Amino acid sequence: MRVNVKPNALIWLALSALVIALDQVTKYFAIELLEPYEAHAVIPGFLNWTLAYNAGAAFSFLHDAGGWQRWLFTVLAIAVSAVLVVWLRRTPRGEWRTALPLALVIGGALGNLIDRVRVGHVTDFIEVYHQQWSWPAFNVADSAISVGAVLLILFGLGGRKAPQGTP
């Protein structure tokens, strides 16, 4: 007896792996080439490479909480990634509007998880600013998480088309 199994979207984990690799390589070069908290202008008035370390979460949330936050964010990254992998497994392969954002978020979460487990903090190095305003430093993993989350919202707001013949 042969069971007809539809291909799922787990193939999109290859994109997650690419995000992790790109994130780790760029962090390696940032650590090797930059001095902590020294700005190096890339696009004057807009973009610097600035090496920073974040023991907290987004925007340094809980960065000075004494160390327990490392394990909280580690467990959260593992749990969220596991849930998203299950979601990918249940998603048909052709549903790229679901698979793409999930793969980006998984890759970003695991990229930062590697830092957190390995050295106890996340390495950031991209700083966007204008005059006195400055966005907190971030990295490739953070970018993937943000883009993935925005795409999930945008594609989710678009809704799904009902099959023809249904009201």
Helix (H) or strand (E) holding 128: strand 122-130
> Of the residues 23, 64, 115, 142, which is catalytic?
142
Does 3 fall in a domain?
no
Does 165 fall in a domain?
no
Does 164 fall in a domain?
no
What one-character DSSP code corresponds to residue 6?
Answer: -
Query: Is-catalytic flag, 142?
Result: yes
Report the number of distinct structural domains present in the chain. Answer: 1
CA distance 96 to 87: 13
35 pLDDT higher than 80:
yes
Q: Tell me which residue range forms the domain holding 130.
A: 9-157
- Supply the mean pLDDT for the chain: 88
Three-class secondary structure of residue 54 per DSSP: strand
> Of the residues 23, 64, 115, 124, which is catalytic?
124
pTM for the model: 0.86
**CB atoms closer than 10 angstroms to residue 132:** 5
Quote the pLDDT of residue 68: 65
**For a pLDDT cut of 90, what percent of the chain falls above it?**
72
Does 36 fall in a domain?
yes
Residue 166 banded pLDDT, cuts 50, 70, 90: very low
Q: Is the dihedral of CA 75, 81, 85, 90 positive or negative?
A: positive
161 pLDDT higher than 60:
no
